[in-house]
Structure 1
Amino acid sequence: MAYKAHKLLEGYEKANSDNLPEVNIIALAHFIAKDSNFISPEISNIKAMRNGRESYGESAIGYVQLKREGHITTVISCVAPEHKVTSNGYKVEIVVDSSKGEITSCKCYSCIAALGGCKHQLALLGWMHRRFEDKTPTEKACYWKKSKLSNVGKTIKFILVKDLGSKSKEKRKNMCKKKNKLSSEIIQKRKPKRKIYKVKSKINVRKDPDGVSFLQEVIAHMDCKLKKGNVKVIPELAKIFLPVDKFDSIDIHSLMKDELCDEVAKSTSNQTDNPLWRRLRYLRITASNLYAVAHCNTVNGSLVDILHGAKLRETSAMARGTRLESQVLQIVSKKQKMIFERCGLLTCPEHPIFGASPDGINENFTVEIKCPTNYKSYFNFIDSSGKIKPQCKAQVQLQMHLSGRKKSLFCVASPEFENNRKVKILPVDYDENYIRAVMVKAEQFWKNTIGKFVLE
């Protein structure tokens, strides 16, 4: 039976923003890398990048339908030709294994170049990845509709170049604003600097989600002396945070009292539900990103944005982890025959720019919990030999360092935890030499990036 794009196949349903399977950048890159059809013709992959571009894919993809069979989802779309736009579209089929987070196959039917990896396959792959990257819409988006290119010469007599792609007028305006803002910042940077300390306007404007800046919360909140005006904030912060050799005898660490740090840990025990927890993490190096900060060489990348308070898009895996965290902690408590309490943000006067939030704590142990969604992501936390991964090691070591504990329990729940209630528990001993070496690297990166944003 001939394929008709506008008719649903038996067992299939119309695709929308709710039921489309996730295709992240790792799954996309892994599939293209292992498929010789896409990498053999050209080592540089320039054609692959061009064929998967947004301007073609957003205009060519139409009538997307899918069928779910357990963890396997088959997606079929009609992809319009790029040149003979009035010709029949090509049927492209992608199979995704949600349990492994992998693309298992991608086929294009009736295209003479299909056997060698054609542009229509790449167009649909790129389109599915962009749907994963899109922000969650307030309304459900339906993908069962005719593509823009296939309407040219029929309902649409022509299509303008500026209308190719999905960028709306509003998005284009925002892009222009960003470019103008960038130009203004470049001009400002070329102006001669004053020889006085001051807070940069970028920090003054760029606030955390609750509208409280670094100087107001991270420093002033930790010591009432700053609020009373007994300390000249900017010069003394410069003496701590800027990468210089010698200063006068002023120790701002002493202004962060242990009593206030304990109070913060208690008052932020509900973590993400607490606005104070989010504010006090602002511009701090936290245990979860310590390893990345210590090994980062990009001074203006996304990691710096995260330290500034940029929010990561909550994925289904993150939501699952938040939902199961308390259940896993109960299992761990029962297995270890210990009682653990929820823990807020841990800070330390000796290290004012660091913070950590373990998932549980008692007199002797900290607890860190991971809830992978599939067995592939399971090995993001524990390697094949059963050892904790480096980024997780740095995380639990900082938790122990700031809490004063000498032992930690690193707990990884089974991807099928809802059914089998299994949790792998790895005991970790405190390693002072290791964590201090990692913290030195991370602090240097902080000084070269965040420190320069805070102070001139």
Structure 2
Amino acid sequence: MESGFSKANSTNLPKIDAVMLGTFFATNSDFCSSEFRNVKTSMSSRASYGDDAISYVQLKRDAHLCTVKCKMCPEHKVHAKLYGCTLIIDEEDDVIVSVVCEDCVASRALIEKVKEETIEQSKSNLWFELRYSRITASKAYEVSRCKTADGTLVSLILGGKIPETKHMKRGRVLEDQVRRTVEDMLKKITKCGLVLSSHYPMIAGSPDGLCDGNIIEIKCPISAKTYKTIYTMASLQRDVMLRCSCKCT
């Protein structure tokens, strides 16, 4: 127990209602507005969530401010260590002042663990779970230009799926073959799982591979026109190198 804090229980915890929660979500810059559908909120509020999800809770009152600190179990099993959360409530004005998650998903050790555990990417259930509600590299361009508050893009980020086309299936099937061919021509490409940003953990990416500090992106053009478009776009970027071209059938 920290100095000045006392053990929390059902009789001394501050009261939080739906209005306070909604106001905090609506005014907090760290909160993703698309999550107003409250998918994650409903999951963590369900009765079956269990008391064992919270290790211990302590609180301290200073005038009209109440500070609550707790240790939480991880949402996913890639991280065995509990992480800390701190909540500050203004009990006089009935306002949630702040909520801080201190050492969960953005920790460097966990980022490396996630990258290892999701190395199979789309063959890994955890890969899908951790991409939920995150802006991935494949969606970054669309997100930067999106002006629709609750459209198809938001649905996709929140777990929606689009039917797999024959071209998407072709690219998925050819990816390993292309990787092996490139390795024969150049150097070994290290497979990589989901990489989370340590500063902005809501942003992530799944490179097709890593080689000598470079990010590998494998493209399988479906026609000569598509190949020309990809080649032209890449050539215009100073930090993009077209290392080789190979034919796979």
Per the normalisation by structure 1, the TM-score is 0.35
- 1:145-179, CA deviations, whole angstroms, 9 ceiling, x for partnerless residues? xxxxxxxxxxxxxxxxxxxxxxxxxxxxxxxxxxx
1:220 and 2:56 aligned: no
Query: Deviations for 1:355-382, whole angstroms, at most 9, x for unmatched residues?
Result: 1111111342210001121223334533
Q: What are structure 2's unaligned runs of at least 5 residues?
A: 1-16, 26-34, 44-52, 54-73, 89-96
- Judge conservation of contact 2:235–2:241 (CA < 8 Å) in 1: no
Measure, in 1, the Cα distance between the counterparts of 2:241 and 2:128: 25
Structure 1 equivalent of residue 234 of structure 2:
388
Identity of aligned residues (%): 27
8 Å contact kept, 1:366–1:409: no
1:331 matched to 2:178: no
2:170 pairs with 305, 320, 340, which one? 320
Letter in 2 for 1:295: R
Does residue 310 in structure 1 map to residue 196 in structure 2?
A: no
CA distance in 2, matches of 1:388, 1:265: 26
Code of the aligned partner of 1:300: D
CA contact (8 A) 1:345 1:355 kept: yes
Q: Does 1:353 align with 2:199?
A: no
**Alpha carbons 1:345, 1:357 under 8 Å: kept:** yes
1:282 aligns with 2:139: no
How far apart are the structure 2 equivalents of 1:254 and 1:333? Answer: 38
Does the CA contact (< 8 Å) of 1:380 and 1:389 recur in 2?
A: no
Tell me the equivalent position of 2:71. Answer: none
Letter in 2 for 1:329: R
Contact 1:282 1:309 in 2 (8 A): yes
Residue 348 to residue 376, structure 1, CA distance change in 2 (3 Å):
same
TM superposition shift of 1:387 = 3.4
Match of 1:417 in 2: 248
Describe the shift of the 1:302–1:389 C-alpha distance in structure 2 as closer, same or farther (beyond 3 A). farther
Larger Rg: 1
Classify the secondary structure of the residue corresponding to 2:218. strand
Q: 1:9-408 maps to which residues of 2 (within 5 A)?
A: 194-196=19-21, 202-204=38-40, 220-221=75-76, 224-226=81-83, 230-232=84-86, 252=101, 254-255=103-104, 256-335=106-185, 337-382=186-231, 386-388=232-234
Distance 2:138 2:235 in 1: 13
8 A Cα contact 1:369 1:410, kept in partner: no
Q: Secondary structure at the match of 1:352?
A: coil
Secondary structure of 2:202's counterpart equals strand
Amino acid at match of 1:225: L
TM-score (norm 2): 0.61
Per-residue CA distance 1:124-154 (angstroms, 9 max, x = gap) = xxxxxxxxxxxxxxxxxxxxxxxxxxxxxxx
Count of paired positions: 182
* Residue 200 of structure 1: how far off its partner (Å): 5.7
Q: Could you tell me whether the CA contact under 8 Å between 1:287 and 1:357 is conserved in 2?
A: yes
The one-letter code of the counterpart of 2:148 is T
In 2: Cα distance, 1:411 partner to 1:322 partner:
20
Is the contact between residue 133 and residue 159 of structure 2 (CA under 8 Å) also seen in structure 1? yes
- Once residues 110 and 222 of structure 2 are traced to their aligned partners in structure 1, the CA distance between those partners, rounded to angstroms, is 38
Which structure's residues are more often helix, by fraction?
A: 1
Cα distance in 2 for partners of 1:289, 1:251 equals: 27
Q: Which amino acid aligns with 2:147?
A: N
Runs of 4+ in 1 over 6 A off after TM superposition: none
Q: Which amino acid aligns with 2:118?
A: T
For the residue of structure 2 that corresponds to 1:369, the secondary structure is coil
Query: Over residues 261-290 of structure 1, what are the superposed CA-to-partner deviations in whole Å (9 max), with x where a residue is unaligned?
Result: 111111111110000001000010101111
Q: Shift of residue 331 of structure 1?
A: 2.3
For residue 338 of structure 1, report the CA deviation from its aligned partner.
1.3
In 2: Cα distance, 1:206 partner to 1:317 partner? 37
**Structure 1 contact 370–412 (Cα < 8 Å) conserved:** no
SS state at 2:149 partner: coil
| 1:344–1:357 CA contact under 8 A, matched in 2 | yes
Return closer, same or farther for 1:297/1:326 CA change in 2, 3 Å cut-off. Answer: same
* Contact 1:370-1:411 within 8 A present in 2 as well: no
